[in-house]
Amino acid sequence: MSTGKNLRLTIEVWRQASPDQPGRFETYELDAVSADISFLEMLDQLNERLIKEGKDPVAFEHDCREGICGSCGFMINGQAHGPLRGTTVCQLHMRHFHDGERLVLEPWRAQAFPVRKDLVVDRDSFDRIMAKGGYNSTRVGNAPEANSILVGKETASKAFDAAACIACGACVAACKNGSALLFVSAKNAHLGLLPQGAPERYRRAVRMVEQMEKEGFGGCSNTLECEAACPKQISTGWIQRLTRDYIRGKTVEDTGEVAESGGG
d(CA 85, CA 229): 7
Closest separation in Å from C-beta 255 to another protein: 25
d(CA 205, CA 16): 36
Host H or E run for residue 252? helix 237-255
d(CA 253, CA 33): 58
| Site residues (CB under 8 A) for another protein, limited to 188-207 | 190-191, 194, 196-197
82 forms part of the interface with another protein (CB under 8 A):
no
| Interface residue with another protein, options 65, 109, 248, 250 (CB under 8 A) | 65
Question: How many C-beta atoms lie closer than 10 Å to residue 154's C-beta?
Answer: 9
Pick from 151, 135, 259: which is nearest to 199 by CA?
259
| Interface residue with another protein, options 23, 30, 34, 227 (CB under 8 A) | 34
139 forms part of the interface with another protein (CB under 8 A):
yes
64 forms part of the interface with another protein (CB under 8 A):
yes
Select 198 or 220, whichever has its Cβ closest to another protein: 198
| Site residues (CB under 8 A) for another protein, limited to 151-170 | 151-153, 156-157, 159-160, 163-164, 166-167
150 forms part of the interface with another protein (CB under 8 A):
yes
d(CA 144, CA 193): 18
d(CA 223, CA 227): 9
134 forms part of the interface with another protein (CB under 8 A):
yes
d(CA 76, CA 64): 20
Q: Are strands 102-106 and 6-15 parallel, antiparallel or unpaired?
A: parallel
Asked whether 217 and 160 are in contact (CB, 8 A), the reply is no
32 forms part of the interface with another protein (CB under 8 A):
no
| Interface residue with another protein, options 12, 23, 30, 38 (CB under 8 A) | 38
120 forms part of the interface with another protein (CB under 8 A):
yes
116 forms part of the interface with another protein (CB under 8 A):
yes
| Site residues (CB under 8 A) for another protein, limited to 9-28 | 18
Select 1 or 258, whichever has its Cβ closest to another protein: 1
Q: How far out from the chain centre does Cα 136 lie? A: 22
Region near another protein per CB under 8 A, out of 98-106, 121-129, 174-182, 240-248: 121-129
Closest separation in Å from C-beta 227 to another protein: 18
Binding mask 205-244 for another protein (x = CB under 8 A): ----------------------------------------
* Sheet with 102-106, side-by-side order of all strands: 24-34, 6-15, 102-106, 75-76, 79-80
